[in-house]
């Protein structure tokens, strides 16, 4: 599985340097930066200390949606108390989830938000699964570099395994399922039920390959029975 780390609008160059160092130490190499030039400041390289290649090869995007253009499975970090959605995994729980998906998902991304405000609700909606580090303190806080290290350490074992070959169609199963369900909700006039839409979108990220394939079959059968919307009007 190709695995990307995405930093959204990081403000402090030192934090980006620390994130790059954590990535390199744990075997991660691909960094994407959204709406920021912090990684290009000298302070980032000072802190990166031997991880300058991660900074040199970082890709830049204006929005998170653009940074996810070729990603099949997205994990977004957030604080549980701020999360709009209910389906939430700890770093430890991500390991078996990603181990199952590595055999059929081509590219995954782990997204970190702004140091002061995290990710917006609109950005969280782009994710398949939300995650956060459980804290004991009354006012839990990890800086960006620490957070990246926690996740890279937890997921490092996945990077040591040889990448399986992926059929392009299989790798896009989950993306296609999301689009198919959105279309179906539109056809049955249920797309305005935001609670239902949110529930479906978050549950889909937890599905295994067999479940995803079976849902595709079910939707195919349903679609055949439904008339085209507005047909004959």
pLDDT at residue 231 in the model? 47
Helices 173-187/209-225 angle, 10° precision = 30
Measured CA to CA, the distance from residue 195 to residue 15 in angstroms comes to 36
What is the number of domains present in the chain? 2
Same domain, 46 and 91: yes
CATH of the domain at 52: 3.40.1280.10
Same domain, 199 and 153: no
Same domain, 19 and 74: yes
DSSP code, position 27:
T
Same domain, 179 and 122: no
The mean predicted confidence, pLDDT, of the chain is: 86
Q: Which of 159, 184, 203 is the endpoint of a domain? A: 159
pTM of the shown model? 0.82
Q: Which of 91-100, 132-141, 179-188 is the least confident region?
A: 132-141
Q: Is residue 140 part of a domain?
A: yes
Same domain, 155 and 178: no
Q: Is residue 165 part of a domain?
A: no
DSSP code, position 190:
-
How far does the chain reach from its first CA to its final CA, in angstroms?
47
> Are 21 and 125 in contact, with CB atoms under 8 Å apart?
no
Same domain, 91 and 194: no
Could you read off the pLDDT of 3-61 as tens digits, one per residue?
999 999 999 999 999 999 999 999 999 999 999 999 999 999 999 999 999 999 999 99
Range of the domain at 86: 2-159
Tokens of 77: 């970090």
Could you read off the pLDDT of 47-58 as tens digits, one per residue?
999 999 999 999
Q: Which of 108, 125, 159 is the endpoint of a domain? A: 159
Q: Is residue 164 part of a domain?
A: no
């Amino acid at each position: 599985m190709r695995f990307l780390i995405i930093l959204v609008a990081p403000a402090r160059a030192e934090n980006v340097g620390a994130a790059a160092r954590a990535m390199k130490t744990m075997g991660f190499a691909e960094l994407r930066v959204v709406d920021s030039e912090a990684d290009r400041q000298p302070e980032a390289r000072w802190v990166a200390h031997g991880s300058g290649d991660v900074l040199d090869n970082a890709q830049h995007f204006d929005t998170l949606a653009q940074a996810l253009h070729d990603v099949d499975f997205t994990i977004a970090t957030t604080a549980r108390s701020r999360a709009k959605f209910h389906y939430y995994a700890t770093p430890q729980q991500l390991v078996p989830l990603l181990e199952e998906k590595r055999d059929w998902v081509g590219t995954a991304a782990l997204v970190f938000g702004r140091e002061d405000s995290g990710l917006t609700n609109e950005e969280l909606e782009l994710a398949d699964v939300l995650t956060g580090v459980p804290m004991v303190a009354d006012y839990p806080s990890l800086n960006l570099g620490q957070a990246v290290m926690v996740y890279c350490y937890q997921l490092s074992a996945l990077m040591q395994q040889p990448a399986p070959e992926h059929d392009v169609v299989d790798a896009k199963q989950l993306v296609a399922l999301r689009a198919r369900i959105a279309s179906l909700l539109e056809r049955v006039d249920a797309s305005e039920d935001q609670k239902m839409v949110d529930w479906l979108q978050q549950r889909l990220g937890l599905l295994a390959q067999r479940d995803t394939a079976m849902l595709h079959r079910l939707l195919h059968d349903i679609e055949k029975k439904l008339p085209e919307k507005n047909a004959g009007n």
